[in-house]
Amino acid sequence: MAEIKEEHHEKGGRWYVEEDGKTIAEMTYINSGATRFIIDHTEVDESLRGQGVGYKMVGKAVERAREHKLKILPLCPFAKSVFDKKTEYADVLF
């Protein structure tokens, strides 16, 4: 399984997977005020399809939200579909 890395900065950040210095999976977010962030894009390379990488990146976002007492607004259609399926993530939805 590919290692999911993360970057966070003042305006937002991302969870991502790199292979040979190239990003092959990425989920980005932007901060929206002090108490929430918006997942705006998810993309996973064909080479990782079927491995649950997208789901794992959403899981990392949920971990961050819970750890920092934040809410998530999933504008990205993929992230929204994960939240629709995983009712255990409802506590962090905005």
Question: What does the pLDDT read at residue 1?
Answer: 62
**Cβ 54 vs Cβ 42: under 8 Å:** yes
Query: What is the reported pTM?
Result: 0.95
**Cβ 58 vs Cβ 73: under 8 Å:** no
Backbone torsion region of residue 20, taken as left when φ is above 0, otherwise alpha when ψ lies between -120 and 50, otherwise beta? left
Secondary structure of 24-46 as H, E, C letters: EEEEEEEECCCCEEEEEEEEECH
User: What are 16-65's pLDDT values in tens digits?
Assistant: 999 999 999 999 999 999 999 999 999 999 999 899 999 999 999 999 99
